[in-house]
Structure 1
Amino acid sequence: MDLITKQIRQLELKLLQSDLIAHPGLIDELLAESFEEIDSNGETHTRDDVIDWLLHKDKHIQWSFKDFRIKTLTNDVVLAVYSLHKPDQPSIDYTGSIRTSIWQYQKNQWKMVFHQASRRS
């Protein structure tokens, strides 16, 4: 795994697994001002909607990534693609989801500008 892939994977995990109430500065560190998301139901959410979800998510869930990879789009933009699973969820009942995130290098740090979740059939 190359350096950028490791960095982006670590940032994705930080966003999902950090207690953002205890560390509110991480929100601005990780999410671009122009951030938006399309959820697994096809609904679009604003940055504020996603921040609200992140602040109220179950802090005890330890998500796991499978098949994490990066595609370079430009010198300062990458696309992260991966499967997301809840480790305590039986794979028969829950197949996880495919996630894509666009990260842009802004002011000497990577920030997520877009995220989409797709249900696995």
Structure 2
Amino acid sequence: MELEQLLFGLEEELLEGATRSDAVRLSQLLADDFVEFGASGNVWGCKDEVIAGLQEEVFSVRRMSGFAVKVLGEGVALVTYRCHREGVGDSLRSSVWREEKGRWRMVFHQGTPAAVV
């Protein structure tokens, strides 16, 4: 499978309600040293905090557009896209993914509120 397709599928999975409420799956997708700068302005530096927060989240449907992948080095890639969140608005998203023992895991994620166009 091409890297862009693989990472698109993983990002898409992380937007789904079933995944966001599944602590086991989230633990597989997020690296142990995961950090997030949220579109809300919050910073999460602990993977367990992120997983716990997603368990309590009121889910709203999200979709992606403008998806792109840039390889940063062997086994490391930057993903960027625009996230459309129903009832909330758009945000610009970036994620750093790292291959660990044959699996891709998210190391960093940032959401920035998008200007209305």
Same fold by TM (over 0.5)? yes
Contact 2:13 2:19 in 1 (8 A): no
Structure 1: how far apart are the matches of 2:44 and 2:22?
A: 22
Q: Following superposition of structure 1 onto structure 2, how do residues 40-79 of structure 1 map, counting pairs within 5 Å? A: 40-46=39-45, 47-59=47-59, 61-79=60-78
Structure 1: how far apart are the matches of 2:17 and 2:10?
A: 10
Alignment length (residue pairs): 114
Structure 2: how far apart are the matches of 1:8 and 1:14?
A: 10
Amino acid at match of 2:67: F
The corresponding residue for 2:80 is 81
TM-score by length of 2: 0.85
The corresponding residue for 1:106 is 100
Amino acid at match of 1:78: A
The corresponding residue for 1:118 is 112
Amino acid at match of 1:11: L
TM-score by length of 1: 0.82
Q: Percent identity, please.
A: 28
Note the aligned Cα RMSD (angstroms).
2.1
Structure 2: how far apart are the matches of 1:21 and 1:71?
A: 25
In structure 2, do the counterparts of structure 1 residues 29 and 18 end up closer, same or farther at CA, with 3 Å as the change threshold? farther
In structure 2, do the counterparts of structure 1 residues 51 and 22 end up closer, same or farther at CA, with 3 Å as the change threshold? closer
More strand by share: 2
Structure 2: how far apart are the matches of 1:71 and 1:77?
A: 9
> Residue 21 of structure 1: CA displacement?
7.6
